[in-house]
Amino acid sequence: MKLKNIRLLVQALAPAAWIAAATVVILLSSCNPAPHYAKPPVAAPTAFKESSPQAFKEGTGWKVADPGDDKIRAKWWEMYNDPVLNSLEEQVQISNQTVIQAEANFRAARALVVEARSALFPTIGASPSYTNLRPSATTRSVVVTGSTVGSGTGGGGGGGSGTSSIINNFSLPFEITYTVDFWHKIRNQVAANAFTAQASAADVATALLSTHAALAEDYFEVRALDEQEGILQDTLRNYRDTLNLTLTLFNAGIDSDADVALARTQVDTVTAQATEVGVARAQYEHAIATLIGRPAAEFSLAVAKFAPNPPQVPVAIPSELLERRPDIAAAERQVAAANALIGVARAAYYPNLTLSATGGLQTSHFTEWFTWPSRFWSLGPALSQTLLDFGARRGAVEQTEANYDAAVANYRQLVLTDFQAVEDELAALRIYAQEVAQYETAIGSSTHYLDLSLTRFRAGLDSYLNVITAQNAVLSNRLTQLQTQLKQMNASVGLIMALGGGWDATQLPQVKTLTAKPGPWSPGGIPIPSGQVAPENPPNVPPIALPPQQSKPPATSH
């Protein structure tokens, strides 16, 4: 009667016990030792000083962003209306090795997310085996529940001699192991890897933006050198005309041979300068070839006119810069990853619960291997806890906390540096616009002075030195204005880069997509908009053909 009452009591309390156990599991699962994450606050001004109404001026290379037009287009280089530049920029994503390397790093980071997430699920394995065992003749027999396992004739302590039997062991075990993530150690590791992968995706965008900007700057350098070559050739024609004039006056006995020598020196000097331009142009042309992933020997850029007309770049409020710079987004994601790693380190203070089960078939006769009596199984939980480590866990936690503080400092410093970059480029555009106009006035004045000097020289009223001075002033002003126009165009590219190009934080891959099967991804690691055709991932880049004069290196295995 007492046993029956006990049995009834156990049956009555069983549902309550299950509910209590489930409640404990839920409560423990909600214990996350990682600090609550919030994006670190930064001091952002309400507006850029250089884009304020007092400093704003039409035609300086930027405009105050309108609510309906406050973003730079993704293909920002199309703002310059140069078809050749557009065609070169389109080759960066599929050919530039730096971008491809950054994209490969992103895929590696994404794979780490999948690897870490797998620990949230049981590990299932099988290890079939066959063993043929012949014990030695001196091995003592082991008797278990009346049957002999092993064979031997040795008895007592003497371990005598005898014959031994051969033992076959056919085994087909299946094992399941599962670590219960009570303290969010695994989930925090997954989160840290996911945030790191997001930072890696932003690094891809940064590499793309930097490469596109470098290509645009090199392209404008080539066009400015083409323009410089034109200026020098135009000047060279004028100098030769002047040389012919001095020769005519010398033959008439009006001018001296010293003036002829000076005129010839000017022609020779400008000729050498024009030759030097060719060296610089070739170097920038080679740099462009490298940026688009082509051998320098197989790339050439035709001469074209330089059009120094920087487009109007929309400049929004500074706080939006935090969402539109991929390097800032990468730094912020690194802060989030460092925060999650604090939780991983703190979880080491708590015990680990591992559930394991093993079952399968095992027999010494092959014909009985797959029979029901050959089954075996074992299961049970295991609880492990470090009792004394002499400060190892405390040191690990302090290290992750210090890493978090360093990541926050890096993020805030990067924001300040990027604010400075925008202000620098805005100021450069404003000042260069004024400087270009001033040099235009200087060119007009020096040209007028040259005309007067030539007139007076022909009339024999002035020395040829005045003509040389005027000619050098015209050439110097034209070349300096050209360099200022080049700086203005490069500052325009720098401003676009400082504002993040056409990128914003919404293009970062979502955490849930990082653990899914890779879908249509662009070479930059960012999901492309629906309706567009995605390039292969990794991109199908054609092999680089070596110049004919070089031999192909031997292939390497990976």
The per-residue pLDDT for range 307-322, each reduced to its tens digit, is 998 988 888 778 888 8
Mean pLDDT over 321-330 rounds to 90
Helix-, strand-, coil-residue percentages of the chain, each rounded to 5: 60, 10, 30
What pLDDT, on a 0 to 100 scale, did the predictor assign at position 398? 94
The residue with greater pLDDT, 196 or 314, is 196
Burial of 37 (0-12, 13-18, 19+ CB in 10 A): middle
What pLDDT is recorded for position 336? 93
Predicted confidence band at 551 (pLDDT cuts at 50, 70, 90)?
Answer: very low
Mean pLDDT is highest, among 14-28, 357-371, 518-532, for 357-371
pLDDT of residue 89 exceeding 80, the answer is: yes
CATH superfamily of 123-180+351-384: Outer membrane efflux proteins (OEP) (2.20.200.10)
Instruction: Give residue 367's pLDDT.
Output: 80
Boundaries of CATH 1.20.1600.10 in the chain?
Answer: 48-120+183-304+316-349+392-397+423-514
Query: When comparing pLDDT for 258 and 522, which is higher?
Result: 258
Question: Looking at the predicted structure, is the pLDDT value of residue 329 above 60?
Answer: yes
Backbone angles phi, psi at 74, to 5 degrees: -60, -45
pLDDT of residue 394: 94
Q: How far is it, in rounded angstroms, from Cα 447 to Cα 162?
A: 121
- β-partners of residue 353 are 180, 383
pLDDT band at 49 (very low <50, low <70, confident <90, very high): confident
DSSP summary character for residue 521: B
Instruction: Judge whether residue 264 has pLDDT over 50.
Output: yes
Q: What is the pLDDT of residues 96-112, one digit of tens each?
A: 888 888 888 988 998 88
Task: State residue 140's pLDDT score.
Answer: 59
Q: Closest by alpha carbon to 527, among 205, 261, 84, 263? A: 205
Contact 509, 527 (CB under 8 A): yes
pLDDT > 70 fraction of the chain, expressed in percent and rounded: 79
- Give the pLDDT of residue 217: 95
Burial 198-236 (b: 16+ CB within 10 A, else e): bbbbbbbbbbbbbbbbbbbbbbbbbbbbbbbbbbbeebb
What CATH architecture does domain 48-120+183-304+316-349+392-397+423-514 belong to? Answer: Up-down Bundle (1.20)
| Average pLDDT over every residue of 382-390 | 89
pLDDT at 62 (0 to 100) = 62
The predicted model scores a pTM of 0.77
Query: Mean pLDDT over all residues of the chain?
Result: 80
